[in-house]
């Protein structure tokens, strides 16, 4: 499956958006330099000047409840050039897509991980069919692994890799269904452990599958969350928190 991707993102550094060319992911998306403005994340506090920079400005393992700075996070859009509504509001991260077939990613761009567990609590507020998922082992040159759950009770794992600037290929790794996956409008949790060539997939704290992905040779990289719209809109994915921890 090939999809054309357009970056409309920014790296949030001490709550200030920097130009897309300053982010570590920018070299893959040269068209982003022609965009007039990056995707804004609203309702964040004004930057606070400091006399001395911190020696460790970005944590490695933490829980983000989206009630403070989004420092280190990168917002990416795929599928089309319509600008989604991205904001931190009421201690939640909201990813709203009003266009069909849109993929929005929020990656923690400040760290790379070898073995990691990433988990989130979310709700699909708009009740439209949607997929919400997790990303691990992301590399702008070598690809990434993506675990998605859909509001129809199905899930899948994909291996994505850039074929050229702006064009990516998704290889289906597996798909299935689970009675643990809730419908739109119900708050739920999903988690994924990426460790030593294996993915462990969780829904509401219950392990639903172990997946051998060692032959994809993705053993480290960045992590994050994702949300997708399909043939119906709007989709409003509301993330209560994201936890990045050791397995």
> Which one is predicted more confidently, 151 or 119?
119
Contact between 132 and 123 (Cβ < 8 Å): no
**pLDDT band for position 102 (cuts 50, 70, 90):** confident
Say what the pTM is.
0.78
pLDDT digits (tens, 9 = 90+) for 211-229: 999 999 999 999 999 998 9
**pLDDT band for position 103 (cuts 50, 70, 90):** confident
**pLDDT band for position 46 (cuts 50, 70, 90):** very low
Would you say residue 120 has pLDDT above 50?
yes
* Average pLDDT value for residue range 201-207: 97
Any idea which fold 2-44+67-245 has? Jelly Rolls (2.60.120)
């Amino acid at each position: 499956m090939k999809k054309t991707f357009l970056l409309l993102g920014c790296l949030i550094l001490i709550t200030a958006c920097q130009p897309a060319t300053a982010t570590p992911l920018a070299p893959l998306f040269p068209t982003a330099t022609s965009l007039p403005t990056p995707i804004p994340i609203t309702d964040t506090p004004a930057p606070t000047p400091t006399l001395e920079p911190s020696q460790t400005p970005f944590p490695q393992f933490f829980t983000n409840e989206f009630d403070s700075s989004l420092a280190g996070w990168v917002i990416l859009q795929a599928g089309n050039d319509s600008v989604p509504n991205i904001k931190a509001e009421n201690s939640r991260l909201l990813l709203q897509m009003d266009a069909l077939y849109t993929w929005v990613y929020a990656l923690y761009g400040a760290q790379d991980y070898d073995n990691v567990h990433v988990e989130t609590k979310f709700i699909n507020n708009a009740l439209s069919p949607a997929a919400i998922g997790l990303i691990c082992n992301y590399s702008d040159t070598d690809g990434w692994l993506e675990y998605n759950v859909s509001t129809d009770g199905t899930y899948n794992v994909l291996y994505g890799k850039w074929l050229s600037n702006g064009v990516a290929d998704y290889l289906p790794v597996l798909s299935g269904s689970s009675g643990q996956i809730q419908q739109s409008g119900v708050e739920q949790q999903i988690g994924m452990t990426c460790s030593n060539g294996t993915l462990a997939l969780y829904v509401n704290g219950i392990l639903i599958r172990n997946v051998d992905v060692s032959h994809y040779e993705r053993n480290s990289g960045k992590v994050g969350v994702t949300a997708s719209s399909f043939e119906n809109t709007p989709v409003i994915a509301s993330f209560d928190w994201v936890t990045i921890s050791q397995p």
